[in-house]
């Protein structure tokens, strides 16, 4: 393991126990955490620092988890990824399929005690639609998105769009969150730092300490959707804790120490090398999450050398997915999956079509020849590495080693995750703070609808800004396809084209290994969601 250098398990246990005493002072504010009734307080360790608060400005998973506490959604996807009404009572559709009318539930309020109005939703959709790929589709297919009165939204569409509720309720990165109009009027390229939502928890801005802590309080004015059962982001979102604290502990052994010492209740992620130290402790539980997340090596199409498709294609023969997964997620293969393509391997859209360059034996001598034939001239490659994000650090170290073995002139530029996640938006040259490549994880790669990595509309695309008219045309075909069989066939075509264009290289898939106090229950099967979680 790159991030922990894999000491023996017994040594890991000594490291963790030795660190526990040192952790007692830093966690929580004196007189706050200890004064809380344990049943009313939840202490969580996220996978990385909450560096950016605005879920439209960044696609960072940690920001999405924060956003789902503070904000609410018009629709929520359930465990079968079906959109269900959340803030809206429901919708009606005109006979021609071109006019959708949605009515907000009564009594929705923001954390500043102002009512949630339809015009807040319109402004929020427009801001999200300027940035998110599914949101861009909503905007492009709409003649008008308007507030008819305080509670009624109307979409007048240019063409039928039966996936509209799925787009408005998408999960993963860049979710549509509803904020007050005055905040939603902020350009999508500018961060919103004032957190006023209508979700089950209020963000306590005065307690935030960058790199150390974030805190939330139950919003007493929140009205969960009536009826039904909670299913991911659908159904009644019930906050069972008065207070939730996030403690930023980048080192996984140190975080494990805190959990064993009772200083925290829940680790979003832990590694297979550390998990054995929890064995035999009946007060703790380790679980492997069901959802699969993709990991990728993303290229910058705007800067040499990766503005050259031949150079991107040549590197397909250098990547060994098993090595990357071991570097990032441990030696236990039950935690991860290799030999995967561009769609989540257990989704209906997945296939092995055109993956031969990724699946064959690695031949670095051939890769070097292919790079030279494609025109590589020893241009500098700036690879971004987040040192406080253990899994991404391990993947970045493997990426640097792989590119160097392929004969590339690699310069690793390190930073904390907040700096790296912000820097990805820089389109400048390497001398102007730009970059060549980075590694990251992607959620929501089950189909082209919300797949950030496969959107290839140039300047409007996700970081890396790939530009492929063929990929975009296939995506439009998928959005209009009438059944799953047709959609699957189109996705096979998208994967063939992606192997030609190489917007990124798939590095494998992982499942999150999480650890928590055994008396906690009510977890979502995927990303951390804090409504529904409670003590037994």
Residue 428 exposure: Cα atoms within 13 Å on the Cβ side: 7
Residues 489, 480: contact at Cβ < 8 Å? no
Helices (H) and strands (E) in the chain, counts: 15, 21
**Domains of the chain, CATH where assigned:** 75-184 (3.90.76.10), 293-510 (3.10.105.10)
Q: What share of the chain is helix, strand, coil (3-state, %, to 5)?
A: 30, 20, 50
**pLDDT value of residue 81:** 81
Residue 339 exposure: Cα atoms within 13 Å on the Cβ side: 6
Token pair, residue 365, equals 């001598």
**pLDDT value of residue 407:** 97
**pLDDT value of residue 29:** 46
Give the span between the Cα atoms of 261 and 21, in whole angstroms.
8
DSSP of 159-189? S--TTHHHHHT--SSS------HHHHTS-TT
Tokens 């090398």 — which residue?
A: 273
Give the span between the Cα atoms of 521 and 536, in whole angstroms.
7
State residue 134 phi and psi, 5-degree precision. Answer: -70, -35
CA-based nearest residue to 402, from 293, 321, 311: 321
Residue ranges of the chain with per-residue pLDDT less than 70? 1-36
Token pair, residue 391, equals 């899994």
Q: What is the dihedral of CA 308, 314, 315, 320, to 10 degrees?
A: 160
Give the span between the Cα atoms of 44 and 67, in whole angstroms.
15
Q: C-alpha angle 9/11/17, rounded to 5°?
A: 105
DSSP of 413-472? EEE-HHHHHHHTT--S-GGGT--SEEEEEES--SSTTS-GGG--BGGGSSTT--B-HHHH
CA-based nearest residue to 142, from 150, 375, 152, 130: 130
| pTM of the predicted protein model | 0.77
Tokens 């503005």 — which residue?
A: 307
Residues 284, 515: contact at Cβ < 8 Å? yes
**pLDDT value of residue 331:** 85
Across 335-350, b (16+ Cβ under 10 Å) vs e yields: bbbbebbbbbbeeebb
**pLDDT value of residue 449:** 85
CA-based nearest residue to 260, from 274, 273, 271, 246: 274
CA-based nearest residue to 316, from 350, 374, 268, 355: 355
Express as a percent the part of the chain with pLDDT over 70. Answer: 93
**pLDDT value of residue 512:** 84
């Amino acid at each position: 393991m790159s991030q922990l250098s894999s000491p023996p398990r017994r040594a890991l246990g000594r490291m963790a126990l030795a660190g526990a005493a040192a952790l007692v002072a830093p966690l929580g504010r004196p007189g706050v955490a200890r004064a809380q009734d344990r049943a009313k307080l939840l202490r969580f360790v996220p996978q990385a620092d909450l560096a950016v608060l605005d879920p439209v400005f960044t696609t960072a998973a940690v920001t999405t988890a924060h956003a789902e506490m503070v904000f609410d959604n018009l629709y929520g996807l359930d465990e079968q990824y079906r959109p269900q009404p959340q803030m809206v009572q429901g919708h009606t559709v005109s006979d021609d399929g071109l006019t959708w009318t949605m009515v907000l539930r009564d009594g929705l309020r923001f954390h500043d005690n102002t009512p949630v109005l339809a015009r807040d939703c319109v402004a929020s959709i427009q801001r999200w639609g300027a940035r998110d790929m599914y949101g861009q589709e909503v905007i492009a297919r709409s003649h008008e998105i308007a507030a008819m009165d305080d509670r009624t939204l109307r979409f007048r569409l240019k063409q039928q769009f039966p996936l509209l509720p799925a787009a408005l309720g998408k999960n993963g990165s860049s979710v549509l969150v509803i904020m007050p109009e005055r905040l939603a009027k902020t350009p999508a390229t500018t961060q919103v730092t004032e957190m006023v939502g209508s979700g089950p928890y209020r963000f306590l801005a005065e307690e935030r300490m960058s790199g150390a802590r974030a805190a939330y309080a139950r919003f007493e004015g929140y009205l969960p959707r009536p009826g039904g059962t909670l299913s991911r982001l659908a159904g009644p979102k019930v906050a069972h804790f008065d207070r939730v604290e996030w403690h930023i502990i980048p080192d996984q052994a140190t975080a494990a120490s805190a959990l064993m010492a009772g200083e925290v209740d829940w680790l979003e992620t832990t590694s297979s090398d550390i998990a054995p130290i929890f064995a035999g402790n009946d007060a703790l539980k380790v679980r492997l999450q069901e959802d699969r997340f993709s990991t990728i090596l993303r290229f910058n199409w705007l800067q040499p050398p990766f503005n050259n498709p031949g150079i991107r294609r040549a590197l397909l023969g250098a990547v060994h997915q098993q090595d990357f997964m071991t570097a990032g997620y441990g030696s236990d293969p039950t935690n991860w999956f290799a030999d995967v393509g561009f769609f989540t391997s257990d989704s209906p859209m997945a296939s092995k079509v055109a993956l031969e360059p990724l699946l064959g034996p690695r031949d670095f001598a051939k890769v070097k020849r292919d790079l030279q034939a494609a025109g590589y001239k020893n241009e500098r490659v700036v690879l971004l590495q987040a040192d406080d994000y253990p899994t991404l650090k391990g993947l970045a170290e493997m990426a640097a080693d792989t590119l160097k073995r392929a004969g590339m002139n690699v310069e690793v530029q390190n930073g904390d995750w907040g700096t790296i996640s912000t820097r990805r938006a820089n389109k400048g040259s390497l001398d102007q703070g730009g970059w060549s490549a980075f590694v990251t994880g992607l959620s929501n790669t089950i189909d082209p609808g919300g797949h950030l990595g496969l959107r290839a509309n140039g300047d409007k695309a996700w970081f890396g800004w790939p530009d492929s008219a063929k990929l975009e045309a296939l995506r439009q075909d998928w959005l209009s396809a009438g059944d799953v069989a047709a959609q699957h066939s189109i996705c096979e075509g998208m994967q063939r084209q992606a192997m030609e264009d190489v917007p990124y290289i798939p590095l494998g898939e992982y499942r999150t290994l999480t650890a928590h106090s055994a008396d906690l229950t009510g977890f979502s099967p995927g990303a951390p969601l804090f409504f529904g979680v409670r003590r037994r």
